[in-house]
Amino acid sequence: MKKVLVAYYSKGGNTKKMAEMIAEGLKSKGVDVTLENVEAVNIDKLPEFDGYIVGSPNYFGTMAYPVKKFFDDSVKFFKRLEGKVATAFCSTGMIGGGGETVCLDILKAFLIHGCVVVGYCGLGHYGPVSIGSPDDRVKKEISTLVDKFIEVLNKF
């Protein structure tokens, strides 16, 4: 059974809601999921996972500090996460406010680790971005994320 870490930071609750939806979708497809606030992740367990899905609220067009710290702390596993599957998601306050750049920053960190990142044709290309609380559009995008992520994960 594939093991996936769904990690997030959420101050207002919207990113947490998205993380919970993603985790539930993965579990319903038979994936072993660890869902944690990024501040609670045991960084030493990162190599044990087959895949990573990380979400952050939009803070000035990039990931929140706790998510950046997670990636900074993950440097100790540079070259040891290579070939693992990863993707991103974000919540933001408005259209055009930088949600896509948050996802890109998360994906860049995974690329530096040598992870295989999942892009999407049928939704926000870099990962789902919720404008405020997740709505029906976001729920559909999360469903697509789960299906595509599992498809790629099962290829490795």
Q: Is the dihedral of CA 112, 116, 117, 121 positive or negative?
A: positive
pLDDT tier at 123, thresholds 50, 70, 90:
confident
Residue 102 lies inside a defined structural domain of this protein = no
Q: Which amino acid is at 7?
A: A
Residue 134 lies inside a defined structural domain of this protein = yes
**pLDDT, average across residues 45-58:** 98
Q: What is the pLDDT of residue 39?
A: 98
**Residue in 27, 109, 98 with CA at minimum distance from that of residue 62:** 98
pTM: 0.96
pLDDT over 70, % of the chain: 100
Q: What is the pLDDT of residue 36?
A: 98
Residue 71 lies inside a defined structural domain of this protein = yes
Residue 148 lies inside a defined structural domain of this protein = no
Residue 106 lies inside a defined structural domain of this protein = no
Q: What is the pLDDT of residue 110?
A: 98
Residue 145 lies inside a defined structural domain of this protein = no
Output phi, psi for 35, to 5 deg: -110, 120
Q: Tell me the per-residue pLDDT of 53-110, one tens digit each, with 9 for 90 and over.
A: 999 999 999 999 999 999 999 999 999 999 999 999 999 988 888 899 999 999 999 9
Q: What is the pLDDT of residue 46?
A: 97
Whether the pLDDT of residue 125 is over 80: the answer is: yes
Residue 117 lies inside a defined structural domain of this protein = yes
User: 110 is written with which tokens?
Assistant: 């995974």
Per the structure, the complete domain to which residue 70 belongs is given by 3-97+112-138
- Tracing tokens 């990380």 back to the chain, one arrives at 54
Domain count of the chain?
A: 1
User: For position 39, which CATH number holds?
Assistant: 3.40.50.360
Residue 147 lies inside a defined structural domain of this protein = no
